[in-house]
Structure 1
Amino acid sequence: MGKNIEIVVVGGGYAGVMAANRMRQRGDVKVTVVNPRQVFVPRLRLHQLVAGTHDAVVDYQEVLADDVDLLVDNATRIDAARRTVTLAEGGSIGYDYLIYAVGSHSGGLQVPGASEFAYPVATLEAAQGLRSVLQDRPMAAAVTVVGGGPVGIETAAELAEQGRSVRLVCGGVVGPSLHPSARRTARKYLTGLGVEVIEGPGTSVTAVRSGEVELVDGRALPSEVTVWAAGFGVPELARRSGLRTDTAGRLLTDETLTSVDSPRIVAAGDASAPSDLPFRMSAYIAGCLGAHAADTVLARIADERPAPIDLSFQAMCFSFGRGAGIFQLLDKDDTAKRWYFTGFMGRKLKEFSCAASVKHLVTEARQPGSHHWPKDGVHRPAQLGARSENESAPGA
């Protein structure tokens, strides 16, 4: 059978690789992944890269199926009418279907001084740059990590375990997605590693300057190295291409993950906004969305009706250096349960989750269509219904 259906996947992260591997259930498709790097980046490891405990790269030969082409380049524009993708190195590539999986990066760098004096950590290049900066600073240099979510917590803990002087500025509570009792454990682990945790009202950063950060309550905190682990942003590719996006720049889709502008474009991962109600950033979610995006394209090729996205949530996990972790169990609607694992068991479960996020890609490469995930069928329809009622209510 000739390979005459061209599938282009823009982005080679968890979602893009899963989608590319899964598309191979058909023998008549030619799949090309467009990605700016020659290596796969397991982003769950970037905080370890900063501290020097992991290199946070995996060869694409390990995770991408042999018959999927990797094109190392940047996509600069998508022409939905002509079905082409313009490439930074020159020329373009055509597609029959495009899977948009460009991922995400840190947001909030619009805070005055942040782009000049703070170091993000959400990409391979940013993490490598921060590691180089830290290597040139003495261990006693004051490090301020901005952001009380998973990236901020794990980066602060990893650096403190190395013996650095670390302050974590949360801009609210530390670990807001954790159950309150798990949050208390997180504080205990951080302070045990020597991290100064600054949380509560008035702790949002309003300015970053050379040698200090300023908080909304007026405090100026000394900081020789400021690490930016707050906020959320996505590449501008969709918006630049004239495709409709949400306010953060994620590609707007229906519940099948199909672009509202073109049935030939399907989105997955952090840069997708199904029904303008996006899922949170997560390697687990990205993999599930990547698989579903491929299923949507496969259904369209077969002239079948694609199914709406459906997934339930199980857990989220945090590492606190190499010695401890919290594995927070979740309800199907992504809210924290009272139950969680801590200490050595929490760390082991966290490590298992990091390894599994890559192993799922490897398995899908060998057995396309094998990835399955738990479904819910209740909470997301309820969310969509509640929003629809609110929008139709008088005065809305």
Structure 2
Amino acid sequence: MSENTEVVVIGGGYAGVMAANRLTSRDDVNVTLINPRPSFVERIRLHQLVAGTHAAVTDYKEVLGERVRLVVDTVTRIDAAGRALTLEHGGTVRYDHLVYAVGSGSADPRVPGAAEFAHPIATLEDAWRLRPVVEAASAKAPLTVVGAGPTGIETAAELAEQGRAVTLVCGGVLGPYLHPRGRRSVAGRLAALGVTVLDGPGTKVTAVTRDAVRLADGRELPSEVTVWTAGFGVPDLAVRSGLSTDALGRLLTDETLTSVDDPHIVAAGDSAAPSDLPLRMSCQAAGPLGAHAADTVLSRIDGERPATLTIGFAGQCISLGRRFGIFQFADKEDAAKGIHLGGRSGAKVKEFICKGTVKQLADEARKPGSYRLHKMFKEGRRRQEQLRAQHDGTPATAEHTV
């Protein structure tokens, strides 16, 4: 009787948990999930953690299959040639196949003073550190949120709804992803909450001090607490391990999510760059990518050629406090449409999606292989055109051996 195949997943976020659960659909596969935290982080609720309206964590028992072995540790190096992982607290873990799903965090802020005086919010630890800082600030203390993507908008709205004096510094356009109609809706709700929105070319932050934020147009804003949401980065594990990455550090893969360096490594979630054309960092992409990564591994175990990536988007949801929100509809290739759902209905959709992402993981844990969303779409025309232009008709591929 042959030994079981050992598959290790690095990272216990939306993509990693989905992949780990799905891999247990085969009895001859042993699955190990390595994650630095003992609990699953609902990252899309971290702004609520800062405001004290949600804990943003779920016990892994609720979302992880019983056959998945959880190791609470951090991988410090991948030895691709030896198929082994070095752990921070000592020891190694060997694998036959590896799923690289390390996620993302705050980008290194290059603005003078930002690293010292601004508070990121991209990780659970960031949010834990920020919450007591906000609580210690007086009710009328000026709070500045830098960055007008979903995280910045949600954080500004959440704090303003509690009566805080919040300024949102966009550094450009408010909600760049949004359609102009959706943007007007968000701006109106922020205004109703009392958020001062500073947008336009002159609002790029040039410096952060202990009690102020300086803008490119010369303005200096008083700020007792500055929250930094401008941009995301990825862990440098792949870079440190000598694997090929894009400029941001995401693992370069082909369209099956297989590393261009090694057919025994696949990537999923925010840390994946298929064909150097990565998808928007989001839990909306993470679930399907995690499922596809697992399917690629299972195909390789069977000696079959893995399917190429197909994924579709529906839109983007943003909470605007606890009572209002917006769902910005998009086409399947993630371009915003001119329609959106706002107000209380938007808030209900947002909450439904937040709960739904956790339920999808729990459902896959109970019935591995039941998730099908990543198979519902055909490859989009725009991505096909990008691939043809970038690779002259031949997408980047890894050696298809097991």
TM-score by length of 2: 0.95
* Partner in structure 1 of residue 40 of structure 2: 40
Q: Secondary structure at the match of 2:178?
A: coil
C-alpha distance in 1 between matches for 2:29 and 2:106: 34
The counterpart of 2:384, out of the listed 381, 385, 388, is 381
Matched AA of 1:366: R
Whether the 8 Å contact between 1:268 and 1:290 is mirrored in structure 2 is yes
Whether the 8 Å contact between 1:269 and 1:290 is mirrored in structure 2 is yes
Whether the 8 Å contact between 1:254 and 1:275 is mirrored in structure 2 is yes
Matched AA of 2:390: R
Matched AA of 1:25: S
C-alpha change, 1:14 and 1:2, in structure 2 (3 Å) is farther
Q: Secondary structure at the match of 2:190?
A: helix
Task: State how 1:13-24 maps to structure 2 within 5 Å.
Answer: 13-24=13-24
1:74-101 deviation digits (Å, cap 9, x = unpaired): 1000000000000000011000000000
Q: Secondary structure at the match of 1:50?
A: helix
Matched AA of 1:377: E
Whether the 8 Å contact between 1:300 and 1:306 is mirrored in structure 2 is yes
1:248-268 deviation digits (Å, cap 9, x = unpaired): 010111111001111110000
Matched AA of 1:383: Q
Whether the 8 Å contact between 1:2 and 1:28 is mirrored in structure 2 is no
C-alpha change, 1:19 and 1:3, in structure 2 (3 Å) is farther
Matched, 1:139 2:139: yes
How far residue 390 of structure 1 moved from its aligned partner, in angstroms, is 11
Whether the 8 Å contact between 1:108 and 1:230 is mirrored in structure 2 is no
How far residue 378 of structure 1 moved from its aligned partner, in angstroms, is 2.8
Task: State how 1:1-396 maps to structure 2 within 5 Å.
Answer: 4-373=4-373, 374-379=376-381, 380-388=383-391
Matched AA of 1:376: K
C-alpha change, 1:80 and 1:224, in structure 2 (3 Å) is same
Q: Secondary structure at the match of 1:172?
A: coil
* Partner in structure 1 of residue 397 of structure 2: none
How far residue 387 of structure 1 moved from its aligned partner, in angstroms, is 3.5
1:224-264 deviation digits (Å, cap 9, x = unpaired): 10000111200010001111111101011111100111111
Q: Secondary structure at the match of 1:202?
A: helix
1:257-295 deviation digits (Å, cap 9, x = unpaired): 001111110000000101111001110100100000000
1:288-332 deviation digits (Å, cap 9, x = unpaired): 000000000000000000011111111210110011110111111
Q: Secondary structure at the match of 1:70?
A: strand
TM-score by length of 1: 0.97
How far residue 135 of structure 1 moved from its aligned partner, in angstroms, is 1.3
Matched AA of 2:127: A
How far residue 386 of structure 1 moved from its aligned partner, in angstroms, is 3.5
Matched AA of 2:33: V
C-alpha distance in 1 between matches for 2:393 and 2:148: 31
Whether the 8 Å contact between 1:97 and 1:265 is mirrored in structure 2 is yes
In structure 2, stretches of 5+ residues that fail to align are: 395-402
Matched AA of 1:345: S
C-alpha distance in 2 between matches for 1:381 and 1:160: 43
CA RMSD of aligned residues (A): 1.4
Q: Secondary structure at the match of 1:25?
A: coil
1:141-165 deviation digits (Å, cap 9, x = unpaired): 1110000000000000000001111
C-alpha distance in 2 between matches for 1:335 and 1:156: 25
Matched AA of 2:314: Q
- Give the length in aligned residue pairs: 391
Matched AA of 1:382: E
> Which moved further from structure 2: 38-47 or 205-214?
205-214
Matched AA of 2:389: A
Q: Secondary structure at the match of 2:168?
A: strand
Identical aligned residues as a percent: 61
C-alpha change, 1:3 and 1:342, in structure 2 (3 Å) is farther
Whether the 8 Å contact between 2:309 and 2:379 is mirrored in structure 1 is no
How far residue 339 of structure 1 moved from its aligned partner, in angstroms, is 1.2
Q: Secondary structure at the match of 1:318?
A: strand
Whether the 8 Å contact between 1:10 and 1:100 is mirrored in structure 2 is yes
How far residue 388 of structure 1 moved from its aligned partner, in angstroms, is 4.1
Whether the 8 Å contact between 1:148 and 1:175 is mirrored in structure 2 is yes
Q: Secondary structure at the match of 1:266?
A: strand
Matched AA of 1:286: A
C-alpha distance in 1 between matches for 2:108 and 2:76: 23
1:322-352 deviation digits (Å, cap 9, x = unpaired): 1111011111111111111111111111111
Whether the 8 Å contact between 2:157 and 2:190 is mirrored in structure 1 is yes
Matched AA of 2:5: I
